[in-house]
Amino acid sequence: MKPDRLELLPLLVYVQAHLDEDLGLTALARRAGLSPAHFQRVFTAAIGESPRAYVARLRLEQAAFYLHIHDDTLLSVALACGFHNHETFTRAFRRRFRVTPRVYRARAR
């Protein structure tokens, strides 16, 4: 039976509401009541991307939004979006949006 997105909906809502917390594979699998390997297969089949890629994408999209509306430092934005330091945040942001967070913020304004 093909996994259904509706089965994962509560978990997806949880992820979006807790982007600044530990959302690693083990933590998400435990929350879903599945083994990490099985959870990864089910999630990827239903959502179309791995749990790690999904969480990273949501964190970066949230960060882009924060850069538009807040004047907080890049470190504050990074920490608020679940990154542990601004270097990791800047590298991931640049890979996703092809510009640094500073340039992105300047262009948005």
How confident is the model over 41-79, as pLDDT tens digits?
Answer: 999 999 999 999 999 999 999 999 999 999 999 999 999
Percentages (nearest 5) of helix, strand, coil residues in the chain = 70, 0, 30
Structure tokens at 81: 């979006």
What is the pLDDT at residue 6? 76
Whether this model's pTM surpasses 0.85: yes
Q: Which residue type sits at 88? A: T
Least-confidence region, from 5-14, 42-51, 87-96: 5-14
